[in-house]
Amino acid sequence: DLVARVFKMKANALIDDLFQKHIFGRTVARIYTIEYQKRGLPYMHLIIFLHHDDKLSIPERVDQVISAEIPDPVTDPALHEKVL
């Protein structure tokens, strides 16, 4: 099924970003499950545990990591492409 293959590719890319590239910091553990909705669409529940030194303990650090904006395609084309 094409939808399941694309989902698996995107899930693997996310897991690689989190656990190999450490985009949020070093991780010490993870738990995830993949489930399917009634119409067959997959989704993932994921919990990550960060190393104590990499935890987001102050609001300013959270604001640096989490964004609710679509990145500018001119100033950050790679991130813009990943978001869309």
Confidence bin at 25 (pLDDT 50/70/90): confident
The pLDDT value given to residue 16: 93
Alpha-carbon gap, residue 33 to 43, rounded angstroms: 8
The pLDDT value given to residue 33: 94
Query: Tokens standing for 21?
Result: 């590239």
pLDDT at 10 over 80: yes
- Closest Cα partner for 27 from 44, 14, 11, 43? 14
Query: Tokens standing for 4?
Result: 């399941």
- State how far the alpha carbon of 77 is from the alpha carbons of 13, 14, 53, in Å: 18, 18, 30
26-76 pLDDT per residue, tens: 999 999 999 998 888 899 999 999 998 888 788 888 888 777 888 899 999
